[in-house]
Structure 1
Amino acid sequence: MRYGLHKFWNFFKASLILLSLLWVGFSTYWFPPHHDQRVAPQIGFTAPQFSLTTLNGETLDLAQIQAQVIVLNFWATWCPPCRAEMPTFERLSREFEPDQVLFIAVNATFQDNLADIHQFVKENNITFPIVLDLDGKVSRAYQIQAFPTTFLLERDKTIRTMMIGGPVSAVWLRSEIEQILNHQK
């Protein structure tokens, strides 16, 4: 009896291993892994290029911007930290000339409401460019996982620093901007 049970367990283990290998083989064949060839934007990398429509209907092309520093913020009106940091961006955008520092807010319009965006911008007197990511392509290119996410880019579109989450503090943001400006002199 004991020998028969031992033989059964060996057969069971061998069968389980064989079935597992077959499952891995079949699942690899029928459901091949999807490899995303894009590398997540990181400090020192070139920021993904985009061309989006502004809230005013104009086209903003990242490649054409010649500011020494670009503050690129991904946001949505339904995001409380996003709403909280917008006055900081507005205040700092008025401290610097646009050819020196340009603030751009990329709205996740594919997850937002256009009427809410217009109302928020009007209520908060936002004067820097708001661009609309209508289909989410730019958010996917930047691999945005959380709102807000802010990138600081140098003139050549190299990512100098980034902040995931928020709201960002004016002190931190001003310090980072000044470091980039001083580095480019």
Structure 2
Amino acid sequence: MLEFLRRHWHSVRATSLILGLVWIGLSAFFFPSRPDFHPAPRPGFTAPPLTLDTLNGSPLDLEQVHSQVIVLNFWASWCPPCRAEMPVFEKLSREFDPAKVHFIGINTTYQDDITQMQQFVRDNDLTFTIALDIEGQSSQTYQIQALPTTFLLDQRKVIRTMVLGGPVSEAWLRAEIHRILQAPR
């Protein structure tokens, strides 16, 4: 067998190459890519598109947020770590220039009580953008497995950091935002 491979090495390589190309072609034909498919969001990859209504009734389209670092936090009002980190997001959203950093809290409304969520927002005087994931589509797209989950996106909407669970600390979040702001674009 080894002697056969030595004598016919070029033929074996060519046959392997041809079979590989045929396999790729057949795979592309029978399993075409889907335009609605997005790989699991993770650092180093562009954030999936996101279009939601906000608590104040205006639409939010992530594609329309330009040249800003984005802090994207999935949360629910019944979630103790989510509740614990909301004052941090509010404080930093007031501290950073809104032209440079945009805070978005995405309430997982499909698994939350909207009345309790609205009361929590009022009680904590949350002024940053609160978006509503009413049907769970955004949570599914972002493959949210635990609450809270926070994504930090750079100015090109590339995910730089992802935190599963919480609460995030104020010092850590401030340092991460500064790191992203200072990174070359």
Structure-2 residue corresponding to 1:172: 172
Q: Is the 8 A contact 2:77 2:116 kept in 1?
A: yes
Query: Per the alignment, in what secondary structure is the counterpart of residue 173 of structure 2?
Result: helix
Structure-2 residue corresponding to 1:154: 154
Given the alignment of the two structures, is residue 46 of structure 1 paired with residue 46 of structure 2, yes or no? yes
Q: Is the 8 A contact 2:67 2:156 kept in 1?
A: no
Structure-2 residue corresponding to 1:116: 116
Q: Identity over aligned residues, as a percent?
A: 60
RMSD: 1.4
Gaps of 5+ in 2: 1-36
Give per-residue Cα distances to partners, 1:100-126, cap 9 Å, x unaligned.
Answer: 111000000000011111100000000
Report 1:109-148 matches (<5 A): 109-148=109-148
Structure-1 residue corresponding to 2:8: none
Structure-1 residue corresponding to 2:77: 77
Q: Deviation at 1:38?
A: 3.8
Give per-residue Cα distances to partners, 1:28-59, cap 9 Å, x unaligned.
Answer: xxxxxxxxx54210101010101100000000
Q: Runs of 4+ in structure 1 displaced over 3 angstroms?
A: none
Q: Is the 8 A contact 2:38 2:48 kept in 1?
A: no
CA distance, structure 1, for counterparts of residue 67 and residue 132 of structure 2:
20
Amino acid at match of 1:96: F
Query: Per the alignment, in what secondary structure is the counterpart of residue 131 of structure 2?
Result: strand
Q: Deviation at 1:67?
A: 4.3
- The number of equivalent residue pairs is 150
TM-score of the superposed pair, with normalisation by structure 2? 0.78
Amino acid at match of 2:76: A
Give per-residue Cα distances to partners, 1:66-111, cap 9 Å, x unaligned.
Answer: 2421000000001000000000000000011111111000000000
Structure-2 residue corresponding to 1:98: 98
